[in-house]
Copies of this chain bind each other. A is one copy, B any other.
Amino acid sequence: MIEPLFFKRPAGITVQGIAQLTGAKPGTGARLDHVITDIASLDRAGPHDLVFLDSNKHADALASTRAGACLTTERFSTQAPTHVNVLCTERPYDGFVTVARELYPDALRPSSLFDSEGVAPGAIVHPAAQIEDEVTLDPGAVIGPRAAIGACSIIGANAVIGAGVQIGRNCSIGAGVSLMHALIGDNVIIHPGCRIGQDGFRFQPSGRTHAKVPQIGRVIIQDNVEIGAGTTVDRGATADTVIGEGTKIDNLVQIGHNVTVGRNCIIVAQCGLSGSVVLGDNVVLGGQVGIADHLTIGEGAMIGAKSGVASHVPPGEIWLGSPAWPRHEFVRATAMLRRQFGQRAKAGTGDG
What is the interface of chain A, defined by CB distance below 8 A to chain B?
A: 2, 4-7, 39-41, 44, 93-94, 97, 100-101, 103-104, 107-108, 110, 113-115, 120-122, 124, 126, 138-140, 142, 144-145, 156-158, 160-164, 174-176, 178, 180-181, 191-193, 195, 198-199, 201, 203-204, 206, 208-218, 224, 226, 228-230, 232, 234, 236, 238-240, 246, 248, 250-252, 254, 256, 263-264, 266, 268-270, 272, 274, 281-282, 287-288, 290, 292, 305-306, 308, 322-323, 325, 328-338, 341-342, 344-346, 351-352
A266 to B331, CA, bound (A): 31
Whether B138 pairs with A140 at a CB distance below 8 angstroms is: no
Closest residue of chain B to A254 (Cβ to Cβ) is B269
A209 to B199, CA, bound (A): 31
Whether A164 pairs with B6 at a CB distance below 8 angstroms is: yes
Whether B113 pairs with A162 at a CB distance below 8 angstroms is: yes
A181 to B191, CA, bound (A): 14
12 example contacts (A-B, Cβ-Cβ < 8 A) are as follows A2-B217, A6-B218, A41-B239, A114-B144, A122-B140, A160-B176, A228-B232, A232-B269, A234-B251, A272-B287, A323-B334, A336-B344
Q: Which of A39, A100, A272 has the most CB of B within 10 A?
A: A272
A8 to B298, CA, bound (A): 37
Whether B41 pairs with A238 at a CB distance below 8 angstroms is: yes
> Would A351 and B336 be within 8 Å (CB), given that A158-B158, A193-B193, A204-B93 are in contact?
yes
Cβ distance A265 to chain B, nearest Cβ, rounded Å: 9
Residue of B4, B240, B254, B330 near A252 (CB, 8 A) is B254
Whether B332 pairs with A336 at a CB distance below 8 angstroms is: no
Whether B195 pairs with A195 at a CB distance below 8 angstroms is: no
For this chain, the copies found in one complex come to: 3
A39 to B270, CA, bound (A): 33
Q: Which residues of B contact A341 (CB under 8 A)?
A: 329, 332-333, 336-337
Q: Which residues of B contact A218 (CB under 8 A)?
A: 2, 5-6
Closest residue of chain B to A4 (Cβ to Cβ) is B216
Closest residue of chain B to A125 (Cβ to Cβ) is B139
A108 to B210, CA, bound (A): 12
> Would A335 and B306 be within 8 Å (CB), given that A5-B164, A192-B198, A266-B210 are in contact?
no
Residue of B208, B214, B248, B251 near A100 (CB, 8 A) is B214
Residue of B107, B145, B212, B351 near A226 (CB, 8 A) is B212
> Would A203 and B266 be within 8 Å (CB), given that A193-B193, A352-B335 are in contact?
yes
> Would A308 and B325 be within 8 Å (CB), given that A331-B352, A341-B336 are in contact?
no
Closest residue of chain B to A322 (Cβ to Cβ) is B306
Whether B145 pairs with A158 at a CB distance below 8 angstroms is: no
A90 to B288, CA, bound (A): 39
A139 to B137, CA, bound (A): 15
Closest residue of chain B to A274 (Cβ to Cβ) is B287
Whether B266 pairs with A115 at a CB distance below 8 angstroms is: no
Whether A139 pairs with B164 at a CB distance below 8 angstroms is: no
Residue of B181, B191, B254, B334 near A270 (CB, 8 A) is B254
Whether A142 pairs with B139 at a CB distance below 8 angstroms is: yes
> Would A158 and B140 be within 8 Å (CB), given that A217-B2, A290-B288, A352-B331 are in contact?
yes
